[in-house]
A = this chain, B = another copy of it.
Amino acid sequence: MTQHVFDKAIALEPSGIRAGHFTGTTSPDYWNMVGPFGGTTAAVLLQAVMRHPDLLGTPIALTVNYASAIVAGAFDVQATPVRTNRSTQHWTLQITQLDVAGMPQVTTTATVVTAHRRETWSQNDVPMPAAPSPGDVPALSVGPKGVAWIDQYEMRMIHGSVPAVWDGTGDHSETRLWLRDAVPRALDFPALASMSDMFFPRIWLRRGRVVPAGTVSITTYFHADAAQLAEMGTGYLMGRASGLQFRHGFFDQAAQLWSETGALLATSNQIVYFKE
């Protein structure tokens, strides 16, 4: 069996230098305009936690801060469990790359909370929006040139697709879509972390205009355990994202990801830089 392209992209090698220290390499398959797709970077960080020998439980919360662009090539990840309680564990993480002088520079910081999950009362107060079934929604054709990562996903736009014409007449910022890996892959936490960042910049939709934009910080909350994710298999997820406040060069986006049967698997928020 050949390795899935996503598993290749988030592959980490323990360095042996100290616990939680790994090396990896950026993936051309998930390249974005000026660096790796931020979703892949989030997945790499979560993967470092999940491969740590001292891991307790499964991911509950992930915050990733994109401090600077990661350049193509090798990087280091350090995942440190700074506090382990009876049922929760708190992690701090950094990705570093060597600069031209051979000095490690921080490109990305992150925090993760993991926890033992247990059965409790449960309630979903954000039901999945009604939608035609995935087979009845056309798949988006290939993405813009030089943006490789988009081709790794199958996106079927239900509402708020990328504008066909950039005429400056946008009037909302909500996208709803069916999505899954282009090459089928069973859902897991790194995949969910990555998919939480897969919406094109809300400001493009809101303004009907392309302006430079990039995620500065993303926070994702996970509402499923490993067994639930495994049940999803290679099925579709429904994703929804919308912008909230655009001002002073930044806007925030709220997003949700449901299973095809309507289970809310993750909620995610991010703040995004934009120009003009």
Where the two chains meet, the residues of A that have a C-beta atom closer than 8 Å to any C-beta of B are: 60-61, 63, 65, 67-68, 82-83, 85, 88, 90, 92, 94, 105-107, 109-111, 113, 115, 117-126, 172-173, 206-207, 216-217, 219, 221, 223-225, 242-250, 252, 254, 256, 264, 267, 269, 271, 273-276
Contact = CB atoms under 8 A, between A and B. Distances in A.
Contact of A83 (B67, B122, B256): B67
Nearest to A85: B68
A126 B267 contact: no
Nearest to A258: B245
A149 B78 CA distance: 37
Given A83-B67, A109-B111, A245-B126, A250 B223 contact: yes
B252 A221 contact: yes
A117 to B, nearest CB: 4
B269 A244 contact: no
A118 B60 contact: no
A115 B247 CA distance: 13
18 contacts: A65-B90, A67-B82, A67-B85, A68-B83, A117-B248, A118-B248, A120-B247, A120-B249, A121-B207, A121-B246, A122-B247, A123-B243, A123-B245, A125-B242, A223-B252, A252-B267, A254-B267, A269-B269
Contacts of A216: 60-61, 88, 113, 115
A60 B274 CA distance: 13
A67 to B, nearest CB: 4
Nearest to A246: B123
Contacts of A249: 115, 117-118, 120
Nearest to A170: B123
Contacts of A107: 83
A245 B113 contact: no
Contacts of A121: 207, 246, 276
Contacts of A60: 216-217, 250, 271
A68 B90 CA distance: 9
Given A90-B106, A111-B65, A125-B243, A219 B269 contact: yes
Nearest to A275: B120
A226 B247 CA distance: 14
A221 B67 contact: no
Contacts of A225: 248
